[in-house]
Chains A and B, each alone.
Chain A
Amino acid sequence: MTNRLRTFVALTGLALSELFRQPATLLLILTNVVCTILVPLAVSHQLGQQTHLAVDSSLAFEFVFGLILAGYAACSTLHNEYLSGTILTIFSKPVGRLMFFLAKFSALAVLIVFFVFCASAASLLAERLTPRNFEFDTLGMRLLGVSLFVALIPAAIVNFRTRRSFVPYSLFFCALMLAGLVLILSTFDLEGHRVAFGSMINWSLVPACLLEGIALLLLAAIAISLSVRLAAPATVAILLVLLFAGLVSDHLTGLLAAVPQAGFVVKMILPDIQGFWPADKLAGGGIITGALIGHAAVYAAAYGTGVLCLGYAAFRNRQF
């Protein structure tokens, strides 16, 4: 491993351990999971539409919580370093600004991947728990209700015995518990009888969550670029505006039909969030193909690289 790579890994690891120790990270990820798995309770009276609503809601939760997490974590890892002055210590060492900026983004990307993992597991469980014909999955509901609390206990024990931070361990055990629950509920039906592995889980949600994950990585790139100049409230606010504007970008370009150049500019500037919104594609039994994910990934990579370049250009000239 070259020295440069070693430095990059050290910077990313440091940023990552900081991010995983923030209480807000735990709160946002846990809330997303809890909201997602509570959806089946709220939609049970929607005759015939329960599954559709449960899937839509869990995907929407993933988008919104993921966006807030991206904005908050980006500012926490980059902007707050100016405020606390720690960035001066880093730059007094042989560390280039580009490497520092990319390391911060890499750490943020790892956090988003972790979030998407938890959110995907929660979505799969929510879909499984959604009552069909008033058949409630009482086994799943009880397992889920207990397991989230149980997941926090080993983290508390670690904290008590070794005085290590509670947050990263609780995140790790929650993720482990969610994955375990998906595996358990894949093997049993509503009555608790053993069935063929995976037959009780709608695996088509996985590519949908993956598609959203790519969108969240794109938003993370925007967030880290914004956090070069802005604090968390402004960054999250702009991300929310971009999310909603991106979702209605077709409508916006339609409004600007009289001025095609303006419409073109809007289309080029706004991220094409519609292309990543999987609920429409899943409606009516549709599936998300590998080609679609590939196309979305290429778009996100191109757009994200552009945004990161702009972000780095701003960061390069930043004075501390």
Chain B
Amino acid sequence: MRLGRITAIAQLTVREAVRSRLLLSLGTFLVAGLIGLPLLIAGDNTLAGQIQIILNYTLTYATAILTATTLWTSCGGVSTEIQDRRLYLVLTKPLHRYELWVGKWLGIAGLNAALLILTGFIIGAMTWHAIRNSTDDPVTKRAVCEQFLMARETLLPVTPDWSRLIETNTWRLMQSGQAPRGMTANMIRTKLLEELNNQRFTIPPGKEIRFAYEIAARETGDHDLILNYKLESTRPERAPVAARWLIGYDPAQVFQVNVTNYPGVPCTLPISSHVVNRPGTLAITYQRLDSGSQATLMMAMNNPGPELRVASGSFSMNLARGLLVILCKLAFLAALGLVAGCLLSTPVAVFTAFFIMILLASAGYVESVATSGVFYVPHEGPELVQTGLDRLILHLFKAFSVMTRPLIQLDPVPLLTDGRIVGWDLVLRAMAWLAGLYTAITALIGIMLFNRRELG
């Protein structure tokens, strides 16, 4: 029976949205933007660029529009009903206020789900249309599909086990008294690890570096693999670098590709599925052919190494998972808006909900402040003197960062745009944190306060 009342409220929310033409206007606005934006934005006239524009801009646009409307409808869903007193009549029925809240939340979530499904279909149709109408040759079309319209898992090179080497050298330095004054054994270990990592990715002229990747059985198949890498140069002129990739399981049977790389520019190298056709340790070597150059290169500075992207699912399922993550975000925002709407008038509720959303969106900045300990410039300039107020604010940031940490990296748009997999782990994390815990905590606080509110 309780479910019946919740369902009745949810149905009413949807019905109101349909009858008041909110859904129609929103759908029209959404469709116009999703179709219009990629047409308006000038790309680089390549199919790959066009596909990236479709994916990036449409997903960002849909997320932005749905975020704004979710906050608006959820805030207005309760506060306008209080304002025009429709809620007085509803709350004189045997209905708990939490049932009203949950019903409204489900109704808004249902509307969002419908609009996200529409978004998914439009994005699918537009990518299909772009590929179909492209004048590029089939090979290029296939390459673009392989790169972007695919769910690819990222493999990183196996990290060598340096523990014994580090231990031996630490012991030697400590025993010989060569360790700098004030450095503990742990500090030496950290420094040595940092040094070894730097050496691992350094490629002097005419030299080579080798990486090993563990390929599992499920990671082989008909689809090409893609190697993503970036070089940084020690020289400011950033001259092109001639090099060769050697790829294979066996040193005797390697697949070779000559390339020219520009430092600072992200590069991709497709690797045929015929080359990587069985499980095992795949060796990938980068040979510099320009022995005359003066520049030392660093492969993937500050990163764990070149990424090998292997196919692990279809684009449609990946898009569906990505949209599910967005739905979880919207579910949390709907909860936030409903709580604000239960307590405040519509404009103030909308404003408050937007403010909280922006605070949550700045989780990355909060995290960096909380970990670095300064609000600005951790790497340059003289050390700043912190006042008591600074320390208080910093503690607030740290407390806030504990709450917002799970929200970082719950954005599926960069993954979808890049052809990377939106894994079920991400979906489950979004469900658990956003649609689950955060929504539940927000709802509990909101319902508690709403129960105390008088409707006079």
Contacts and interface: CB of A to CB of B under 8 A. Distances in A.
- Are chains A and B touching directly in their complex (CB below 8 angstroms)? yes
Interface of A: 22-24, 27-28, 31, 41-42, 44-45, 47, 72, 76, 131, 134, 136, 145, 232-234, 237, 248, 251-252, 255
Given A24-B351, A233-B72, A44 B29 contact: no
Nearest to A35: B358
Interface string B208-249: 000000000000000000000000000000000000000000
B29 A136 contact: no
Contacts of B379: 45
Contacts of B347: 22-24, 27, 72, 76, 232
Given A23-B345, A27-B351, A237-B29, A41 B40 contact: no
A72 B379 CA distance: 43
Interface hub of B380, B381, B384 (most chain A Cβ within 10 A) = B381
Interface string B332-359: 0000000000000101100100010000
Nearest to B344: A23
A41 B375 contact: yes
Contacts of A22: 347
B381 A134 contact: yes
B77 to A, nearest CB: 13
11 contacts: A22-B347, A23-B348, A24-B347, A27-B348, A42-B365, A42-B376, A44-B377, A45-B376, A76-B347, A134-B377, A237-B29
B351 A45 contact: no
B384 A136 contact: yes
Nearest to B376: A44
A130 to B, nearest CB: 11
Contacts of A131: 376
A248 B39 CA distance: 14
B25 interface: yes
B382 interface: yes
Contacts of A233: 69, 72
A213 B246 CA distance: 62
B364 to A, nearest CB: 12
A45 B40 contact: no
Contacts of B25: 234
Nearest to B362: A42
A191 B347 CA distance: 42
Contact of B355 (A31, A134, A248, A252): A31
Contact of A41 (B351, B376, B380): B376
Contacts of B345: 23
Contacts of A234: 25
Interface in B130-154: none
B348 A255 contact: no
Given A31-B355, A233-B72, A45 B348 contact: no
A252 B40 contact: yes
A145 B384 CA distance: 18
Contacts of A45: 376-377, 379-380
Given A41-B376, A44-B377, A134-B377, 20 more contacts: A22-B347, A23-B345, A23-B347, A23-B348, A24-B348, A27-B351, A28-B351, A31-B355, A41-B375, A42-B376, A45-B377, A45-B380, A76-B347, A134-B381, A134-B382, A232-B347, A234-B25, A251-B40, A255-B40, A255-B42
A45 B351 CA distance: 30
B382 to A, nearest CB: 6
A31 B358 CA distance: 12
A31 B348 CA distance: 12
Interface in B15-52: 25, 29, 40, 42
Nearest to A233: B72
Nearest to A72: B347
A252 B348 CA distance: 36
B68 to A, nearest CB: 8
Contacts of A44: 376-377
**Chain A to chain B: the 8 pairs with minimum beta-carbon distance, closest first:** A24-B347, A134-B381, A44-B376, A27-B351, A45-B377, A23-B348, A233-B72, A44-B377
Contacts of B42: 251, 255
B379 to A, nearest CB: 8
Contacts of B40: 248, 251-252, 255
A47 B348 contact: no
Contacts of A27: 347-348, 351
A166 to B, nearest CB: 13
A53 to B, nearest CB: 13
Interface string B365-405: 10000000001110111101000010000000000000000
B71 to A, nearest CB: 10
B78 to A, nearest CB: 16
Contact of B380 (A47, A72, A251): A47
A145 B392 CA distance: 14
Contacts of B365: 42
A234 B68 CA distance: 12
Nearest to A254: B42
Contacts of A255: 40, 42
B109 to A, nearest CB: 19
Contacts of B384: 136
Contacts of B29: 237
A265 B145 CA distance: 39
A59 B376 CA distance: 22
Contacts of A76: 347
| Among A28, A237, A251: residue with most chain B CB under 10 A | A237
Contacts of A31: 351, 355
Most buried by B among A45, A47, A145: A45
Nearest to A23: B348
A23 B347 CA distance: 8
A281 to B, nearest CB: 24
Contacts of B375: 41
A258 to B, nearest CB: 14
A233 B379 CA distance: 44
A72 B351 CA distance: 11
Contacts of A145: 389
